[in-house]
Amino acid sequence: MLNFQRKLDFLKLVLAGCLVLSVGLIPTTSWAQVDLEEGEELGWANSTDLSLVVTVGNSSTETLGFNNHLQRLWSNARYSLRIEAVRTNTADDPFAVEIPNSGGEFDVEYPGKELDVERYFIENRYDRNITERFFWNAGVSWERNKNAGILNRYVGFAGVGNLWWSREDLKFSTTYGLSYTDREDEIPDPLTDDTFVGFRFGWEYLNQWGKVTTYRNTWNYTNSLEDTSDYYSDMVNSISVAINKRLALKVSLQWLYNSIPSLEEVSLFDQDGDEIGTVTIRKERLDTIFSTSLVVNF
């Protein structure tokens, strides 16, 4: 019943956010112009990152990475939808099974691939200018990261921001506001709150290195106002090199940090190597994701 009430409260927050966004979408000429990045045009645009790694033979793995950024630009506002997904299927090592009454002969078993890594992230966000250097934003997001022990993390946020630099080769903006987080872990944690109101801070940095190379850095930080020791952070560094107008190659490094990581149940062995039970430990605070991908713009 409590879990249903949490989802109902979050749904109300999403509906309120949608109402705010719908009001913001009403055309008006009293706002400043959105400063476009190089190559951007008013209207719809989409950028897709694709990566695939497959190994067969002595090891059997499949890793699929997919990032998609859909946006709509107006003269005074910006809407964006981000989708990120990483899935890895891995097969365990082969093992031998002795054939009964065969004099030592055996069969080799090759386990099939099973899901090993699974992370999804979806964010809807709307930004609108108040002045040439000042804007407001609002949005909602959902995340699942099973390796970090997060089954669902819903976040609604709203705030304001400043545009500090706005040149063709250099752009930097910061945002600050409030958020509401509703999370569900694989193992319930008595030391953390399932829902909390938090302070949210972030930035977006872009630096054009020559005509074809672009460096980007984005960071989002959320801190619970109810327990200041509970916070999480997401930073992405990327370098992309344009091949032509539609294609680019990109490398990126992402750091996901949780100050109070989720709980994990692991096997307990005695000194002789025999399994005697399980214990609960905390996962690592920091996850590092490195990826290379082909970017398709259209």
More reliable by pLDDT, 17 or 165:
165
How many angstroms separate the first and last alpha carbons of the chain?
45
Predicted model pTM? 0.77
Helix (H, G, I), strand (E, B) or coil at 152: strand
Instruction: List Cα–Cα distances, 112 to 61, 88, 197, 205, in angstroms.
Output: 10, 13, 43, 43
> What CA–CA distances, in Å, run from 182 to 148, 156, 211, 259?
16, 9, 43, 16
- CA angle centred on 288, ends 151 and 250, rounded to 5°: 110
C-alpha to C-alpha distance for 262 and 45, rounded to whole angstroms: 37
What confidence tens digit (pLDDT) does each residue in 134-160 have?
999 999 999 999 888 899 999 999 999
Share of residues in the chain with pLDDT > 70 (%): 85
187-234 pLDDT, tens digit each: 998 888 999 999 999 999 999 998 899 999 999 999 999 999 999 999
Instruction: Give the three-class secondary structure for 70.
Output: strand
Q: What is the pLDDT of residue 59?
A: 67
* CA dist list (Å): 180 to 6, 155, 194, 207, 288: 11, 6, 11, 32, 25
Q: Is a pLDDT exceeding 60 seen at residue 4?
A: no
| Per-domain boundaries in the chain | 2-297
Q: What is the pLDDT of residue 88?
A: 86
Average pLDDT, rounded, for the chain: 83
Residue 269 · residue 276 · CB < 8 Å: yes
Fold of 2-297: Porin (2.40.160)
